[in-house]
Structure 1
Amino acid sequence: MNISKRAQQFQETLRERGLDLTVVELPDSTRTADDAARALGCEKAQIVKSLVFKDTSTGAPVMVLASGTNRVDEKTLAEQLGSTIGKADADFVKRVTGYSIGGVPPLGHKEQLTLLVDADLLAFEETWAAAGTPHAVFKISGKITDILPEHRVVAVK
């Protein structure tokens, strides 16, 4: 299957990390959790949302991998981090991850990010995450935490 250059680059990132996972590109957008669940025929909760925040005191990037059904409570996250956070703008997201909003994968970023994983994602043995473009995704069989670099599991709501 032919996939775009950006999705191919992420596929190579997976291979470099020794992960035998396959990127697929869909004709329909997977930019939102609703779009992705509809296109993949799975539960919205199985979609991994990659959300980037900024530590307001240090400017450091913080990525939250949230279940598609969950709305992230910034106050709850800030309490768990011991710091205040705010939503990052599109330019910041692109600069620190190397990807545009709507296609940000959970790993393989330009800069090191504090990585927080929604505890609700651990209920699933199969999840789907963005793979570099708003049309590209990859399936994670097993717990998402098995493929991630250093991370913390947290409550996001």
Structure 2
Amino acid sequence: MSKSVNRVQEAAKSLGLDVEVVRMPDSTRTAADAAKACGCEVGQIVKSMIFEGVESGDLKLLLVSGAHDVDLTTISDHVGEGLTRADPKRVREETGFAIGGVSPIGHLAPIATWMDDTLLSYQEVWAAAGAPNAVFRVAPDDLKAKIGAKALPLNSA
């Protein structure tokens, strides 16, 4: 297993999340690919999207349902500032994950996190586990509580 995947497993354990990382034979880089591989609805896929605050420069993690796109104009009202896409190199340096394998847990440093409230309508969701073909299943309520994510109302997106 890669260092990134091991870090996700250790983070889950330290947070008290009972998860098992599953390696898929193919990439789960897109929500559609992940849903097919996991045998679930696209909406149950957690897209871990990293943005940069326009004013603060801080990285922000948005956990978004695979069924939703992100409208940066609307999101800024919830996050408190405008957002731009974060540079992939910075994402890797500061989170320890490459784009396509960013996990909601196990970052190298704390990161402010918001979670699409649509994810909470499912009993379980699937999230990236530190590599493009590694995922884990988790109860979304548990994940939100354990990582202290703020609500992100996207159900009308």
Q: TM-score, normalised by structure 2?
A: 0.91
CA contact (8 A) 1:29 1:134 kept: yes
**CA deviation after TM superposition for structure 1 residue 154, in Å:** 1.3
Residue aligning to 1:118: 116
**Long gaps (5+) in structure 1:** none
Query: Equivalent pairs: percent with the same residue?
Result: 40
Map 1:121-132 to 2 at 5 A: 121-132=119-130
Cα distance in 2 for residues equivalent to 1:4 and 1:112: 21
CA spacing shift, 1:141–1:150, aligned 2, 3 Å: closer
CA spacing shift, 1:84–1:29, aligned 2, 3 Å: same
Residue aligning to 1:92: 90
**CA deviation after TM superposition for structure 1 residue 147, in Å:** 5.0
**Long gaps (5+) in structure 2:** none
CA contact (8 A) 1:47 1:127 kept: yes
CA spacing shift, 1:47–1:99, aligned 2, 3 Å: same
CA contact (8 A) 1:19 1:147 kept: no
Residue type of the alignment partner of 1:83: E
* Structure 1 vs Structure 2 CA RMSD: 1.6
**CA deviation after TM superposition for structure 1 residue 112, in Å:** 1.7
Map 1:34-53 to 2 at 5 A: 34-53=32-51
CA contact (8 A) 2:7 2:106 kept: no
Secondary structure, counterpart of 2:147 in structure 1: coil
Cα distance in 2 for residues equivalent to 1:81 and 1:126: 25
Range that drifts further, 60-69 or 86-95: 86-95
**CA deviation after TM superposition for structure 1 residue 144, in Å:** 4.9
Residue aligning to 1:106: 104
CA spacing shift, 1:5–1:109, aligned 2, 3 Å: closer
Residues matched between the structures, number: 155
CA contact (8 A) 2:54 2:82 kept: yes
Residue aligning to 2:73: 75
Q: TM-score, normalised by structure 1?
A: 0.91
Secondary structure, counterpart of 2:8 in structure 1: helix
